[in-house]
Structure 1
Amino acid sequence: MKRVVKVAGASMAPTYRSGDLLLTRGIGRGGLPRRGQVVVLRRGGTRMLKRVVGVPDDQVEVEAGRLFVNGESVDGRGRVPGAVTAAWRVPTGSYFVAGDNPAVSDDSRVWDEPFVPLDHLEAVVIRWLARARRRTDLKPGELPAAADPAG
């Protein structure tokens, strides 16, 4: 089933901004999530939007804030000689996820249990629908007027 979701927060910036609308499809339709896809997941009682970085059996490393999967840099930045490295092998039925904005993203890189079980993934983003609109008719410091509930 396809659904529209609205982005909340800055963890996926600059790819997606808060308020953007995305079209998703349920997990299982079209196969399992693949590395690089953006997914909607549940963690505790919170829904999150994150990118799949590691799939089952991948070796994921975080070194000086840089991500490596199976020895390859995720963002093109090289290794840092002498840096402390954390490494994980993604178990069967689980995924390693990260936001595109590491400075603010709450994701597998910092969680005590870094893996997201497949049954916690709800949907895969298949298309961006609309960019968040910014009000340009307001003066600095001015707040928008409340909408008239009578219509």
Structure 2
Amino acid sequence: MRLVRVAGDSMSPSYRSADLLLTRSVGPAGVRRGDVTVFRHGGLRLIKRVVGMPADLVELQAGRLFVNGEPVDGSPRSRGAYTQTWLVPGGSYFMAGDNASVSDDSRVWDQPFVAADSIETVVARRLLWPRHLRGFTPGRRTAAVDRVA
């Protein structure tokens, strides 16, 4: 188990900036669609949701994601809208933040896929802290807490 602190609003409203999350190792089972993961991409440590699995067809149409023809958020398709598509290669994943308007994720990256070996942990749960302590990080424990965007 490992603690990480969220920095930024890309996973809002699920997780907000300064939330403290308990994560677990990926393990032999790997990750599943819908898991929120902490991973390395482009030299940064990020937190995003797994949207596309290996061999999935991911489509972005009018700002909405579809995986294998099914809407991620339940929204219907827009007639005549431009559609961008990706076929997720083996051993890779397509990642998206829950807050699409501010998330820097697979939808906009030049290299949109995250290799399985780049995934460090999966979020197990958010730790609840009193509001007045949310910005507080104990001096001796800062080494155990990573900031992820």
Tell me if the contact between 1:20 and 1:132 (Cα under 8 Å) persists in the aligned partners.
no
State the Cα RMSD in Å. Answer: 1.4
SS of residue matched to 2:117: helix
Q: How many angstroms apart in 2 are the aligned matches of 1:25 and 1:42?
A: 16
Correspondence for 1:97: 95
TM-score, normalising length from structure 2?
A: 0.85
Correspondence for 2:7: 8
Runs of at least 5 residues in structure 1 that lack an aligned partner in the other structure: 136-151
- Equivalent pairs counted in the alignment come to 133
Tell me if the contact between 1:4 and 1:23 (Cα under 8 Å) persists in the aligned partners.
yes
Judging changes above 3 Å, is the alpha-carbon distance between structure 1 residues 33 and 6 closer, same or farther for their aligned structure 2 residues? same
**Percent of aligned pairs with the same amino acid:** 62
Q: How many angstroms apart in 2 are the aligned matches of 1:130 and 1:75?
A: 27
Runs of at least 5 residues in structure 2 that lack an aligned partner in the other structure: 134-149
Larger RCO of the pair (alpha carbons < 8 Å, separation 6+): 2
Q: Give the structure with the higher percent helix.
A: 2
After TM superposition, which residue ranges in structure 1, 4 or more long, deviate above 6 angstroms?
A: none
Q: How many angstroms apart in 2 are the aligned matches of 1:100 and 1:133?
A: 22
Larger-Rg structure: 1
Tell me if the contact between 1:17 and 1:132 (Cα under 8 Å) persists in the aligned partners.
no
Residue 93 (structure 1) shift: 0.2
TM-score, normalising length from structure 1?
A: 0.84
Is 1:17 matched up with 2:41? no
Residue 134 (structure 1) shift: 5.0
